Amino acid sequence: MVGPAPDVAATRVAVRRAMASRGLTGQRVVIACSGGADSLALAAAAGFEVPRAGGSVAGVIVDHGLQPGSEQVAATAADQCRSLGLDPVEVVRVSVSGAGEGPESAARDARYAALTAAAERLGAAAILLGHTRDDQAEQVLLGLARGSGTRSLAGMPPARPAQTCSAVLVVRPFLTVPRTATEGTCHALGLTPWSDPHNTDETFTRVRARRVLPVLERELGPGVSAALARTADLLRDDAEALDAAAHTAYEGLGEPPWPVSGLTALPAAIRRRVWRELALRSGSPSGALTGEHLRAADALLTDWHGQGPIDLPGGLRVHRRGDLVALLPSR
pLDDT along the chain (331 residues), means of 10: 89 98 98 97 98 98 84 96 97 77 75 95 98 94 79 90 90 97 97 82 78 88 91 91 95 94 95 94 84 92 93 94 93 71
Question: Could you tell me the strand order of the sheet in which 310-312 lies?
Answer: 258-259, 324-329, 316-321, 310-312
pLDDT of residue 114: 94
Q: For residue range 107-118, what is the model confidence (pLDDT) as tens digits?
A: 888 899 999 999
Residue 25 domain-assigned (yes or no): yes
Q: Is 152 annotated as a binding residue?
A: no
pTM: 0.84
Residue 85 domain-assigned (yes or no): yes
Pair 180, 226: CB distance under 8 Å: no
Residue 238 domain-assigned (yes or no): no
Q: Could you tell me if 91 and 182 lie in one domain?
A: yes
Pair 287, 105: CB distance under 8 Å: yes
Q: Is 188 annotated as a binding residue?
A: no
Q: For residue range 258-312, what is the model confidence (pLDDT) as tens digits?
A: 999 999 999 999 999 999 999 999 998 877 788 889 999 999 999 999 989 999 9
Q: Is 35 annotated as a binding residue?
A: yes
Q: Could you tell me if 92 and 179 lie in one domain?
A: yes
Q: Is 36 annotated as a binding residue?
A: yes
Distance from C-alpha of 234 to C-alpha of 232, rounded to nearest angstrom: 6
Q: Is 126 annotated as a binding residue?
A: no
Residue 245 domain-assigned (yes or no): no
pLDDT of residue 309: 94
CATH number at residue 183: 3.40.50.620
Tell me which residue of 129, 127, 122, 125 sits closest to 24, measured CA to CA.
125
Residue 226 domain-assigned (yes or no): no
Q: Is 74 annotated as a binding residue?
A: no
Tell me which residue of 99, 79, 97, 76 sits closest to 87, measured CA to CA.
79
pLDDT of residue 286: 73
pLDDT of residue 1: 60
CATH number at residue 310: 3.30.465.60
Task: Look up the domain containing 56 and give its range.
Answer: 6-131+155-211
Q: Could you tell me if 170 and 75 lie in one domain?
A: yes
